[in-house]
A and B are shown apart, each in its own frame.
Chain A
Amino acid sequence: MFKRKLHPLPTFVYFVILLVMQMWTFNTFIIVAGYIASVICMCNMRGIERYLRKLPLDILVVAVCAMINLVGYHDGEHILTYINNNAITLEAINFGAHMGVYFLAMVNECLIYKEILTEDEFLYLFGRIAPSASIMISQVFRTIPELKNDYKEITMAAEGLGSFGLKAKRRNVSTLISKSLEESIERGELMEDRGYGLGKRTSYHRFRARKRDFVTGTIVMAVGISLFYIVASGKMTIYFYPKYEFKASYVINAVVSVFFFIYALFPIILIKGVRDGDD
């Protein structure tokens, strides 16, 4: 079946809930579930080989995070040894490892988000809030590659006259500034000519919400709210110092995490939509 891509708004809400949940709970189960789910999504997107190649780096990141935390924190019950009169504790290593896994999960999730949400979808989200800001961002998106390209041309023009070296570079930057200022004036005139500033702007977008978007949106919101409720009630609370322990029973933690794990696998459905569309 051909699955269509989701509307940007529920997609955005989904990712906000996903990230906030991990940040807020910092619960072992949730973080690990989030990491595994993000890896599955990444493998789905880019293939398993790329993940396997990256795996040593992931382990290194966790190890480094654990090391750094170990140097800075000396609290905790289980003291392994002393270095320079500072305690090296199991709890500090544990917390550092959590940080590492959490960091990796976040990075993966942001990459997935970037993959799903294109530039114009991002602009659309912005345009809903502030139409003029969205026009500005759209112009920034255009200007940056343009400046890069102009700088290359200016450098070539200067070198073509035999002007090299550090001082020449400085002059090139000055030429770049004059040229882009000049062009901004022309653009400003054209914007005015095209009616900019004549009243309230609207922001055109190509996205129309369908029934499916409302359904998915509702599911996302429902799951989000129930997760929030559970977390707010303190059931997922976890302590690292002085002793690593969970406030609620492991069973409750595990059940909620499975729930969260399935939630975190959502991008497969969302991404699948894009992929099938390409085929």
Chain B
Amino acid sequence: METIKLENLTFTYEGASTPTIKDISLSIEKGTINLILGRSGSGKTTLLRQFKSTLVPNGKREGIVIFEGKDSKRIDPKEEVRRIGYVPQNPNTAMLTDRVYSDLAFVPESLGLSNNTIRQQVAETAHYFELDDIFLKKTNELSGGEKQLVSIASAMVTRPSVLLFDEPTASLDPGMAYKFFNLIKKINEELGTTIIITEQRSEYIFEMADKIFVMDGGNLIISGSRREVIKQLSALETLDGVKNLLPTTVKLFSKLGITPDKCPVTIKDARKLLAETYAGAGASPMAQEERKQREQGISTDSLKGFVHSESIESIPAESSTTLLELKSVAARYETGPEVLRNVDLSVNTGEVFCLFGGNGAGKSTIFKTLLGQMPERDGVVKYENAKVRKLPTGAGNVVYIPQDPLTMFTEITVTDEIMSLKAYGLADVTEEEATNTLIKYRLNNFRDLHPYDLSGGQRQLLALAKAFCLKPKLLLMDEPTKGMDPEFKEELQDILKDYVAQGNAALIATHDVEFSANVATTCALLFDGEIATTAEPHIFFGENTLYKTKASAIASELLPGAITLDEVLQRIGEN
């Protein structure tokens, strides 16, 4: 039975000349998981917002939306609030009140329910989502994952039959995203709630989805089951960017020439298929030799001969100098224990240093310490072999890009954002250079937009553009790939590789395993206030069983040491 049906829906934003989504007809079956896939700016959020009338933005809407057999215009608004839940993208703005329990009570309060009814609903919901420990907590003391959990719970309090998600994992790390999708699955299976979700990264969710809708340029280009979508997408001649949205497993096997109807979706199936198809590859002398060496614990250098990756062929050791050095650095806030206890690390020129660590491990605290923002600190920080209390920031020195690019924007247009560097005396940027930069970062078409109107990935690119205009020697980045679609991510990888090749360096705090495998020269794990492991990425992702890339999860048995998709393909080709 269908829950929601859209018929010939076209939507044009107020003041826009062309519609954002065009002539879309689709139906959502009751109790299914539906995934709307699309690149940034493909209109997927606009489409999602059509499902609930309170979410429809200002603009002109043609066509009809039918909810459970009724035209949505004729549904009682209170009924709609009760029956359709919505979880927004940004977990920070999803917290409406100061306490977790009052946030849970928001919808039933709005519906004017009695205190006893609300108590019952809130209690059941909190129990179901295991919020017992944080029930009385203040909302701004929660972590990102907890906030996201509370915001789902708040949407589920009145037991809606449909739940809408707008890129719910954009600000979560991969581990949390995985947990989050499992929760969605649980809700769907146990409560029979219909799920509609928009995403840019299809890992995890793709294998759960019953039906997938692919949006591009405001059109619904493909819809159907997983298999049908894989088939139709692979058959497309153009639109590589859209194909990029498919999960790694599918991308890998379609590149290996497996026909779409045999392409595995889950890692488990992929591992099996790879083993069956390329059993011979694992038995090749090269792979055997490598496995033997790994068992004996051979250093990185000997691995280099086998691993053919650009990332490892960085600048030769002689020409590289130490740019940043931390010795036994400790830091803490006025009250509370030490966040950093004993951090030793060094970043050389030509190096992309990726720092891993769980939420609250102190990755951001390292940046705060380096920029002199921690109230209490100890230890030695050396920049260009000179002891410093805090790093010299600004043009030609160190530049920091925060997690939330919005904190960097001071102007009202994208162009002004770049030109402001000159106006404020931070860097000498000419109009021409600004335009070139905008072209390089694919922002030229949006140059007159307000930075806040850019998509998440574009905001991140603008932040990067601003930072690179200062020609920094050392770049500090906090979670640069948050909210980026795969296409932007590849672009960022290229930009970074190009940048460090000129004798610069980058220190990146990240959760993004795939990104680091492609770009890092060194990876480190921050744990318990110390650097627990430092290693070259092939070692880091190989030995470390928790931090595994998709590619190494699929192929580590057969092709040890291959951690990116390209490496797997290359190695299979060689064998």
Contact = CB atoms under 8 A, between A and B. Distances in A.
Given A142-B98, A161-B393, A199-B111, 14 more contacts: A131-B109, A135-B109, A157-B402, A159-B371, A161-B399, A161-B467, A171-B424, A175-B409, A178-B409, A190-B86, A195-B110, A198-B81, A202-B108, A204-B115
15 contacts: A135-B97, A135-B109, A141-B98, A142-B138, A152-B373, A161-B393, A161-B400, A175-B409, A178-B452, A182-B452, A187-B93, A201-B109, A202-B114, A204-B108, A206-B101
Interface stretch (A44-52, A82-90, A143-151): A143-151
Contact of A190 (B88, B367, B394): B88
Given A138-B98, A162-B393, A194-B107, A153 B119 contact: no
Secondary structure of the B contact surface, majority rule: mixed
Contacts of A204: 101-102, 105, 108-109, 115, 118-119, 122
Contact of A202 (B90, B118, B371): B118
Interface in A98-147: 119-120, 123, 131, 135, 138-139, 141-142, 145-146
Contacts of A163: 394, 424, 426
A146 B140 contact: yes
A229 interface: no
B112 interface: yes
Contacts of A174: 410
Contacts of A196: 106, 110
B517 interface: no
A191 B115 contact: no
Interface string B66-84: 0000000000011001100
A146 B138 CA distance: 11
Interface residues of A, number: 54
A123 B155 CA distance: 23
Contact of A139 (B98, B109, B407, B452): B98
A198 B112 CA distance: 9
A139 B96 contact: yes
A202 B105 CA distance: 10
Contacts of A161: 393-394, 399-400, 408, 421, 426, 466-467, 470
Interface centre among A139, A167, A194, A203 (most CB of B within 10 A): A194
Interface bracket on B: 35 or more
B406 A162 contact: no
A142 B81 contact: no
B414 interface: no
B476 interface: yes
Shortest 9 CB-CB contacts between residues of A and residues of B: A162-B394, A160-B400, A195-B110, A204-B105, A195-B81, A142-B98, A141-B98, A186-B93, A157-B407
B389 to A, nearest CB: 13
B99 interface: yes
B569 interface: no
Interface string B478-520: 0000000000000000000000000000000000000000000
B300 interface: no
A200 B90 CA distance: 28
Interface centre among A153, A162, A178 (most CB of B within 10 A): A162
A182 B55 CA distance: 17
Interface centre among B86, B99, B399 (most CB of A within 10 A): B99
B322 to A, nearest CB: 21
Contacts of A149: 140
Interface in A183-215: 183, 186-187, 189-206
Contacts of A160: 371, 393, 398-402, 476
B397 A162 contact: yes
A194 B96 contact: yes
A247 interface: no
A199 B108 CA distance: 12
A131 to B, nearest CB: 7
Interface string A169-182: 00100110011001
A118 to B, nearest CB: 9
A270 interface: no
Given A139-B98, A146-B140, A198 B407 contact: no
A220 to B, nearest CB: 23
Contact of B407 (A119, A141, A175): A175
B97 to A, nearest CB: 4
A142 B95 contact: yes
